[in-house]
Amino acid sequence: MTILVTGGAGFIGSNFVLDWLAQHDEPVVNLDKLTYAGNLNNLAGIEGDPRHHFVRGDIGDGELVGRLLRAHSVRAVLNLAAESHVDRSIAGPAAFIETNVAGTFRLLEAVRLYWGQLGQDRRQAFRFLHVSTDEVYGSLDAGAAASDEEHRYAPNSPYSASKAASDHLVRAWHHTYGLPVLTTNCSNNYGPFHFPEKLIPLVIFNALAGKPLPVYGDGRQVRDWLYVLDHCSALRRVLEAGRPGETYNIGSSNQVANIDVVHAVCAVLDELRPRPDGLSYAAQVSFVKDRPGHDRRYAVDAGKLERELGWRPAEMFETGLRKTVVWYLAHGDWVRGVTSGAYRDWVAQHYASERGAP
């Protein structure tokens, strides 16, 4: 038997594939379009491993997906393929609608056709795990309870709206066709192989390069920070024992404001790779104009996952952050490899409007 992972060369996807093969002998078919955030260098550690079969392709290519499902007798699909950066969704929403909505629809249809042709035992054992985000729940007030699985959807960005739409499609394919689906909504991931447009790797990269550390608005936007390998362990557990048709939130109860994340990264860098002038990297913090419609706070209640499936995160924010900084310091070649000219143009476009600290 084999699992199919879509988006398996991206940040979360590559971590999942590496972690899966470290935990299991079951082969992985890895389907990834290799857009800007997909990187085969993430998978260099399993190059030549016969358990890993990489295919460059689009989840929207139903014919290709169907061939892969049949050829490899796939028993589960984990859909991690997505456009996932809010800033990019604001600048160009069309790609998010195409991948996250239309792509998910076409993937579901290919999987439904394959699933419908399986024998009864394999049909019952089959699973489609759709990986989504806490951003579909919208922004929370400072004193509000964390979002549980019954929280109403209130997406506020093109990215979160596209993911909300994909969640609804997955739900509908279960309710209408009986496809045995599972949906997970995770909080902000961080860790190895994170593309340096996201906050933590951007701060590490810019700090070491002597560049400003851009912080939107007043920096008090709060997120629940989930170490990526904790996310991977949760996905394995949901795939193993989750109830078809159910949604499971994945979070770590580590709610931290963006400015505090930046200062925490600076503190670890001050310790592990001090600036030559002896100053803290925090001196490089630069507050920039807030992005449109910036949600103030996300937080998820992962109690259902703990109660029903016995999962809890292994890392606190402090321990996961240190591991992340150590990884980036040890993998400078990887960082240089992904920071192409196109990436630098993107950063300049979206973080150039600096202003004084509020």
Q: Which residue among the candidates 83, 114, 137, 159 is catalytic per the annotation?
A: 159
Distances in whole angstroms, Cα of residue 345 to Cα of each of 72, 348, 349: 40, 5, 6
| Contact (CB, 8 A) for 31 and 103 | no
Distance, CA of 239 to CA of 251 (rounded, Å): 17
| Contact (CB, 8 A) for 221 and 288 | no
DSSP string, 272-317: HS--TTS--GGGGEEEEPPPTT---B--B--HHHHHHH----S--H
Q: Which residue among the candidates 58, 134, 230, 295 is catalytic per the annotation?
A: 134
Residues 6+ apart with CB under 8 A from 317: 225, 252, 254, 256, 264
Q: Is 141 tagged catalytic?
A: no
- Helix spans in the chain (H): 11-23, 62-71, 86-91, 94-96, 104-116, 120-125, 158-177, 199-208, 228-241, 258-272, 303-309, 317-330, 332-338, 341-351
Q: Is 190 tagged catalytic?
A: no
DSSP string, 16-56: HHHHHHHH--S-EEEEE---TT--GGGGGGGTT-TTEEEEE
Q: How far is CA 154 from the centre of its chain?
A: 19
Q: Which residue among the candidates 58, 83, 87, 135 is catalytic per the annotation?
A: 135
Distance, CA of 131 to CA of 120 (rounded, Å): 26
Q: Is 83 tagged catalytic?
A: no
| Contact (CB, 8 A) for 17 and 41 | no
What are the catalytic residues? 134-135, 159
